[in-house]
Amino acid sequence: MFQMGCAARRGAAMVSKTSGSYVPWSKERTIEVVDKHRCERGPLMPILHELQEMFGYIDPDAVDLLASELNLSKADVHGVVTFYKDFRSDSAGDSVIRLCRGEACQSMGAEELARHALEHLGIGFGATTPDGAVTLEQVFCLGNCALSPAVMVEGRLKGRVDESVSTRSSTNLRRGRGDGCCHGVRAPRRRSAFCGRRRGRGRHRA
Ligand code: FES
């Protein structure tokens, strides 16, 4: 009976993110996400991931709400949010660029790429452009070392990125045109798992 109630709530909790931007934080939507996961084992992480994806960050009020809804202490929830780098505690821009500064990427020019991105966007790591379009973050491995230097743009992984790609992506994002897919990426000889492009043939996958 209890399981059926959970399934019904899960079905009812059809919440979605506005295309290309985040939904403003609200208590109601947060409760919907909680209801969707509350019957799972260890619901906190999936809830936090979904909130992060929906709102772009974990609102401080959500921490209190999750603690009371999941019967946890505020310190427990806060501890998880602050421990994992994937979770933000303040709102991000419409798009997030994550630039890898891990060892493999550094050896392939990530520092130069980082300097270029900082200069081009005119912000520091962890900051958002004044127009609210782009947030720039640094990470220390995206699991794409074989195709370094790597970046993640709006959740999509890109490998063998050079300055022209960085510039194009950030410029397009600020103009609200997406990131321009993988144009300008120095494509490997074989078709990459991260880029559907084959030179001279067909279209890219987005
Ligand atoms: S070090 Fe950059 S993807 Fe692994």
Q: What is the DSSP string of 72-99?
A: --HHHHHHHHHHSTT--SS---SEEEEE
How open is the CA angle 84-178-116, to the nearest 5 degrees?
70
**Residue 184 CA, ligand 1 centroid: distance in Å:** 19
**Residue 183 CA, ligand 1 centroid: distance in Å:** 21
Q: What's the rounded Cα separation, in Å, for the pair 117 and 38?
A: 40
pLDDT digits 0-9 by tens, 1-39? 334 445 444 443 333 344 456 788 999 999 999 999 999
Mean pLDDT of 144-150: 94
For residue 157, the surrounding DSSP H or E stretch is strand 156-158
Strands 95-100 and 134-139, by their bridges, are parallel
Structural domains of the chain, ranges and CATH numbers in brackets: 2-83 (no CATH), 95-186 (3.40.30.10)
Are residues 118 and 78 in contact, defined by beta-carbon separation less than 8 angstroms?
A: no
What atom of ligand 1 comes closest to residue 147's alpha carbon?
A: 3
Predicted confidence (pLDDT) at residue 138 exceeds the cutoff of 80: yes
Give the chain's end-to-end CA distance (angstroms, integer). Answer: 43
Q: Which residues line ligand 1 (CB under 6 A)?
A: 100, 102-105, 141-145, 148, 150
Considering only 14-18, 86-90, 156-160, which range has the smallest mean pLDDT? 14-18
Q: What's the rounded Cα separation, in Å, for the pair 56 and 49?
A: 10
- What radius of gyration, in Å, describes the C-alpha atoms of the chain? 19
For residue 100, the surrounding DSSP H or E stretch is strand 95-100
Predicted pLDDT at 9: 44
* Residue to mutate, 85, 105, 194, ligand 1, most ligand atoms under 8 Å from C-beta: 105
